[in-house]
Structure 1
């Protein structure tokens, strides 16, 4: 549902806000590049492990819905609908996973490891680290399985809030991988990216020994070029929200460490300056050679003018669901036509060989 802060939400956020960043917490984070990443590791390592059962206790302050329905139910990134009623709503302590159910959405909830627990052999303290282990619908959690996160090309499965899985879109900023990935809705892409950056930093001393399609076997860059580009793009396109700040504070109050990339989003590009500069340059170039007209559309048709050839044109509705996808569209006189549109508000994602950009359009 549409974001809605009430007095109750404001008061609870104020209480959680008492656990703000401690004075001097990041005073030793003075470097740049991988030096900064190691400095952050030394700040956040050694957190209090409250055990796997302790996650459910943490969730009662870290993952409650005070931002959408604003009714104190569980906030699940895989089923939360930011713009309308949720299909699933869970109350903590009710319908908690007991080993049964979970054959469809809305039956049970459990704990989702954003980095699959199989990657680190279910070892502690990773197994119960709330900064990247989140409450989720059991069915969608199982559907995601151990799949990496990425940009779905053509969905094989789509879930109630628009989350989906399918082969990765092997072009633009996600070029270099074509196997199955799971894609959350736009509302939570930055949240998940910052969880990955936290994981790569908090477990810097172990991650090089763990195998996963998103990892490159190092302790510095950690991620393959493809997935680093995806995570940086999601981080930049979906800025830190109040919900993330409140979650960070609530987890700090429980396990005594913080996610630095929520407190200081600029750390991402200070650690990975080359990749950030490349992505920024690519998007700037495509942004300035593409235009869409008329906007609002006339006769349910738009024209896309582009000085470079486009590999794909994808229209998303406000829920992040694909409405129309055109691969290798026909280009005539540097223009593309998209027609048979229905009335509504859309995000048009345009992808060339090396870059991606998005435009908003209205169809009356």
Structure 2
């Protein structure tokens, strides 16, 4: 049955309500106004004496869903912790106020029908997937958010001889603002949450203290104030210390007073912190402002306040971003004989020989999905700022620090599979969540489709929300966010074409198939490849991934191979160019850009064939040009691709048409 509550409802539940330690309060479903992510959820324990040691206790969360099968999904080891002066111990995220004594990530506690149980034991007694048990059980709370009762879970815990008539308690409907609170007589009430306060309003009233700053980001060399304010004036001088160090950010990175005092009868103090402006590129860092030795009679209303410290000593690469590409600056690091076995081959033989190179089980390495984060920070580094990654679809930089680690992807970047996992039929595998570094890897071969999940040639740094917008759409269905300049078109085309060769079971085809292992649209991708040739950014990326995986994307090194396998030279015999470093790009300029309707090509030594494409790679017009003769475009405002071919060379330029008419 469901248990429905209005304002306050009590249920008689026989359990260890007056034992040494009980589950005092649970809030499983409280989100902030600006998101539907449960940032305010918490669980509170209560001991019958103050400052009670929690050594020897563990808190275990059980999933009562059909898939969860009443097994554990989170275990918290309580060794080393003690309850406060009121006997309370609060567990929650750093978004909960007052600040918890033990932190867990936001959105961790499931909404139910589930259970949380307190045991005497060790953390390793409850690996993930452990079936709910009454062995060494101290207390249990079964709960939901207006879900049907989990009879199997109830029956498991009712077998304990000290528990009778256990019921599943509802916190309220989804997205409620309630918590489940234990009453002194062993019943439960559902009402407004009271973290770090006794549920009956008794006990020692603690004076809360808050940390405040003007903003959450500063650049090296800047100063900022930190203000500390108590809820009531202090009755005696309050002295405390603060810490700011976190990871690579340490005491050498700032100056300022970290020992503070609030005089008797007052309620605030502040300090000024100055960030050291050094000449070393340490990358952006995060300082964490937190209390060090706050007296027990004071309550931290917040803590671990993060400040982004932007390093102004970032490195600028000698090559351009995909929006402002350069060519010929970055050379391929492929061995001179890397593609020799392709010479003289065509058709299926050429395809197989290419797979033999990039999927060679004696050479090629597969890394974990967690390792890909580090690979992307290096391979997708923004050429204009070494402290950022370049976002593939959004076509801009974002701080490397802003990698998505929770369910909230706003303002974050994550790993985008150019060949979506749901289309390819691959996903996370065992140990994929462990970042081992370059020297620990899996052996892999063409049949190791599972390793496509972490193949860095097919993964890109992407804006979190835009990654979600792309979802599992085929290219052609998805052409990027509104207003994009298509700087990623050729890159993603070569990425998925690489996967077609690298793994048996993956194929790029025409159209938008619904067959697992197939992806489209081949015609679109061929056009993208032709009209957005490999630039220095992509070559550098290929070189970086090669240091990890010991294989390369051949369509970046040898872009003409695409035509011999899928394009206009299928069946013809491949012959490797004499020099992989020879620049086959025209050295010409297209101006003005933006243009109102007339453009010129500067630097032509002979006649040129000029093709105009839409940003979706649809050919619109063709021109012949000679001696810098003006081209009258007569096209609507927008972004276009201009392909110029002359002297056996070619180049693709992006042109913005912006008429004032």
> Normalising by the residue count of structure 2, what TM-score does the alignment of the two structures yield?
0.33
Q: What runs of 5+ residues in structure 1 fail to find an aligned partner?
A: 1-5, 81-85, 164-184, 278-294, 299-312, 321-337, 350-357
Q: In the alignment, which of 56, 63, 77 is matched to residue 392 of structure 2?
A: 77
- Residue 308 of structure 1 corresponds to none
Q: In the alignment, which of 519, 544, 549 is matched to residue 250 of structure 1?
A: 544
Q: 1:108 to 1:127 in 2, by over 3 A?
A: same
- 1:133 Cα offset (Å): 1.1
Q: 1:214 to 1:248 in 2, by over 3 A?
A: farther
| CA–CA separation in structure 2 for the residues paired with 1:215 and 1:35 | 26
- 1:36 Cα offset (Å): 1.2
Q: In the alignment, which of 411, 415, 432 is matched to residue 111 of structure 1?
A: 415
Q: Could you give the per-residue CA deviations for residues 37-84 of structure 1, whole angstroms, max 9, x where no partner exists?
A: 111101000321110111011112211011xx445411111112xxxx
Query: Structure 1 residue 29 and structure 2 residue 342: aligned?
Result: yes
Q: Could you give the per-residue CA deviations for residues 23-44 of structure 1, whole angstroms, max 9, x where no partner exists?
A: 2111111212232111110100
Contact 1:348 1:361 in 2 (8 A): no
- Residue 460 of structure 2 corresponds to 134
Query: Structure 1 residue 120 and structure 2 residue 446: aligned?
Result: no
- Residue 43 of structure 1 corresponds to 357
Secondary structure at 2:522 match in 1: helix
| CA–CA separation in structure 1 for the residues paired with 2:641 and 2:349 | 39
| CA–CA separation in structure 2 for the residues paired with 1:11 and 1:212 | 34
- 1:95 Cα offset (Å): 2.4
- 1:128 Cα offset (Å): 0.4
Query: Structure 1 residue 190 and structure 2 residue 490: aligned?
Result: yes
Q: In the alignment, which of 391, 396, 403 is matched to residue 96 of structure 1?
A: 403
- 1:99 Cα offset (Å): 2.3
Q: Could you give the per-residue CA deviations for residues 169-201 of structure 1, whole angstroms, max 9, x where no partner exists?
A: xxxxxxxxxxxxxxxx42110011100110101
Q: Could you give the per-residue CA deviations for residues 332-364 of structure 1, whole angstroms, max 9, x where no partner exists?
A: xxxxxx89x67xx75399xxxxxxxx9975635
Contact 1:232 1:276 in 2 (8 A): no
> Normalising by the residue count of structure 1, what TM-score does the alignment of the two structures yield?
0.58
Contact 1:297 1:361 in 2 (8 A): yes
Contact 2:316 2:386 in 1 (8 A): no
- Residue 155 of structure 2 corresponds to none
- Residue 528 of structure 2 corresponds to 234
Q: In the alignment, which of 194, 198, 201 is matched to residue 501 of structure 2?
A: 201
Query: Structure 1 residue 143 and structure 2 residue 448: aligned?
Result: no
Q: Could you give the per-residue CA deviations for residues 220-240 of structure 1, whole angstroms, max 9, x where no partner exists?
A: xx766xx22111111101111
Normalized per residue, the structure richer in helix is: 1
Q: 1:40 to 1:276 in 2, by over 3 A?
A: closer
- 1:125 Cα offset (Å): 0.8
- 1:115 Cα offset (Å): 0.6
- 1:216 Cα offset (Å): 9.2
Structure number with greater CO (CA < 8 Å, separation at least 6) is: 1
Contact 1:20 1:249 in 2 (8 A): yes
Secondary structure at 2:640 match in 1: strand
Q: What runs of 5+ residues in structure 2 fail to find an aligned partner?
A: 1-313, 321-325, 429-449, 572-594, 599-611, 617-633, 643-653
| CA–CA separation in structure 2 for the residues paired with 1:315 and 1:11 | 26
Query: Structure 1 residue 54 and structure 2 residue 371: aligned?
Result: yes
- 1:100 Cα offset (Å): 2.5
Aligned length: 251
- Residue 146 of structure 2 corresponds to none
| CA–CA separation in structure 2 for the residues paired with 1:259 and 1:223 | 18
Query: Structure 1 residue 263 and structure 2 residue 571: aligned?
Result: no
Normalized per residue, the structure richer in strand is: 2
